[in-house]
Amino acid sequence: MLKTSLRGQVRQTVLNKYKPLLPLFEAVMNAFQAIQDAAAVQGKLVIEIECEHGLGLEDAPPINGFKITDTGIGLNDTNFDSFNTSFSELKINRGGKGLGRFIWLVAFDRV
């Protein structure tokens, strides 16, 4: 059986400095797909930006994180198995490559 080193994969995953919001994009796309999979008549996706002060452009406070919530299908058994599989092919027909979780692990201390 083939074994995969999660630390090794994270170490080899590159998040270019000119694409700092790529992890956010990955999470938003997962939320859209989860809403589609839920086949709900009306879905909801909320993206919150967490910072210490308001989002006034004049002082530009640092962003501490993001919070994403959706009304999608959730982390069911199929999605959880895919999450735990390196380079999963579950979303290959949607353009997925199974790399999103690694980009998150490179970018953030906690998810």
What pLDDT, in 10s, does the model give residues 48-106? 998 876 656 666 777 888 899 999 999 899 989 988 888 888 888 998 877 888 888 88
What per-residue string of b and e applies to 28-46 under the rule 16 or more CB within 10 Å gives b? bebbebbbeeeeeeeeeee
Kindly tell me if the per-residue pLDDT of 1 is higher than 80: no
CB atoms within 10 A of CB 10: 14
Task: Identify whether the C-beta of residue 53 lies closer than 8 Å to the C-beta of residue 64.
Answer: no
Q: At what angle do helices 100-107 and 22-38 cross, to 10 degrees?
A: 140
What pLDDT, in 10s, does the model give residues 13-52? 888 888 888 999 989 999 999 999 998 788 999 999 988 7
pTM listed for this prediction: 0.79
Going from N- to C-terminal start, the domains of the chain cover 19-107
